């Protein structure tokens, strides 16, 4: 599933072609949404926003298209307005003068009046937005501190969108490795220094992933591996999808397993 950094990068691309543009045509695959095609056509898009893993496209007539990519959804930009030659199911298309934006495979799409967004269930429950320019490390620490007595393991707590918005499975695995914490560690097991380090890595690895297109490995190491001809998927992570390989930090072996019911990756030698 795309996580906060991937949705924010998709938002940047969409905003680059849609913001300020008049919509020439809109297509919805779902019958329940087709009544909105006429309402949105010839309207201007005033902004494109991401919140957590949701995309919001705001129109000047006070309507907003809400979408959540879930597991398989993906946005495509087509400067030539031609649909990509792929086998995915087209769910939404927005056509402007010089481009088109296509959303494939997503099943959670709504058209809402903009004033309704604050009470829409997914958006209303979102916790601190890690990629907000207003978010700082002390705010992340405070949000984690609010769960200090929790007996939920970090593997599930960090992926709870009502706690920290935008973090999913790969970011959770990478953050826990960077902080040296086992996925089944609980907030009530942490001292202040461990909580401080966890807050730091939650924020800055999420930002790094956004800025680099998904790299959560050491940037120096990743650049060296890239120069050696290593493919992107093989240098981007510290532990995620590296089952059976050597841990960069301690030389142990990266394992894959279920932790508190969620599949993940960690090094049992240096994550305690």
Give catalytic status of residue 2 as yes or no.
yes
What is the CATH architecture of 128-239?
A: Orthogonal Bundle (1.10)
Q: How confident is the model at residue 2 (pLDDT cuts 50, 70, 90)?
A: confident
Q: Are 256 and 240 contacting, i.e. CB atoms less than 8 angstroms apart?
A: no
* Catalytic-labelled residue, pool 53, 91, 186, 236: 53
Give ranges for CATH 3.20.190.10 in the chain.
Answer: 4-124
User: What phi, psi does 208 have (nearest 5°)?
Assistant: -60, -45
Structure tokens at 78: 């087509």
Give catalytic status of residue 39 as yes or no.
no
Partner residues linked to 93 by β-bridges: 27, 102
More confident residue, 73 or 23: 23
* Catalytic-labelled residue, pool 74, 81, 88, 262: 262
Structure tokens at 227: 């120069």
Give catalytic status of residue 53 as yes or no.
yes
Query: What is the value of pTM for the model shown?
Result: 0.93
Give ranges for CATH 1.10.8.50 in the chain.
Answer: 128-239
Fold classified for 4-124: N-terminal domain of MutM-like DNA repair proteins (3.20.190)
User: Which among 160, 266, 187, 177 has a CA at the least distance from the CA of 217?
Assistant: 177
Q: How confident is the model at residue 150 (pLDDT cuts 50, 70, 90)?
A: confident
Q: What is the DSSP letter of 247?
A: P
Structure tokens at 41: 């056509």
Average pLDDT over residues 124-128: 95
Q: What is the DSSP letter of 254?
A: E
CA atoms of 79 and 117, how far apart (whole Å): 30
Secondary-structure percent of the chain, ordered helix, strand, coil, rounded to 5: 35, 25, 40
Query: Tens digits of per-residue pLDDT, 8-48?
Result: 999 999 999 999 999 999 999 999 999 999 999 999 999 99
Structure tokens at 72: 């398989």
Strand ranges, E, within 44-186:
45-51, 54-59, 63-68, 74-78, 90-95, 100-104, 108-113, 128-129, 164-165
pLDDT at 1 over 80: no
Rg of the chain, C-alpha, whole Å? 20
Q: Is 167 exposed, middle or buried (0-12, 13-18, 19+ CB in 10 A)?
A: buried
User: Which among 2, 98, 115, 121 has a CA at the least distance from the CA of 50?
Assistant: 2
3-state secondary structure of 266: strand
Give catalytic status of residue 116 as yes or no.
no
Query: Tens digits of per-residue pLDDT, 152-174?
Result: 999 999 999 999 999 999 999 99
3-state secondary structure of 16: helix
């Amino acid at each position: 599933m795309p996580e906060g950094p991937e949705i924010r990068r998709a938002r940047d691309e969409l905003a680059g072609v849609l913001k300020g543009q008049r919509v020439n045509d809109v297509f919805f695959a779902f019958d329940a949404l087709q009544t909105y095609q006429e309402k949105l056509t010839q309207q201007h898009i005033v902004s494109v926003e991401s919140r957590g893993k949701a995309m919001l496209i705001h129109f000047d007539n006070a309507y907003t298209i809400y979408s959540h990519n879930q597991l398989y959804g993906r946005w495509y930009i087509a400067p030539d307005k031609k649909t990509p030659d792929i086998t995915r199911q087209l769910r939404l298309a927005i056509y402007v003068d010089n481009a088109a934006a296509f959303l494939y495979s997503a099943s959670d799409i709504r058209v809402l009046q903009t004033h309704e967004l604050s009470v829409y269930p997914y958006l209303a429950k979102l916790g601190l937005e890690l990629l907000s320019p207003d978010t700082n490390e002390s705010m992340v620490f405070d949000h984690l501190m609010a769960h200090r007595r929790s007996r939920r393991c970090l593997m599930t707590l960090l992926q709870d969108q009502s706690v920290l918005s935008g973090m999913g499975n790969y970011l959770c695995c990478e953050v826990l490795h960077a902080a040296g914490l086992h996925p089944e560690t609980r907030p009530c097991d942490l001292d202040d220094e461990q909580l401080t380090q966890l807050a730091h890595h939650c924020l800055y690895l999420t930002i790094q992933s956004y800025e680099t297109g998904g790299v959560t490995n050491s940037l120096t190491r990743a650049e060296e591996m890239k120069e050696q001809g290593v493919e992107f998927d093989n240098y981007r992570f510290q532990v995620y999808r590296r089952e059976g390989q050597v841990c960069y930090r301690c030389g142990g072996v990266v394992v894959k397993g279920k932790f508190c019911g969620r599949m993940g990756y960690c090094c049992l030698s240096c994550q305690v």
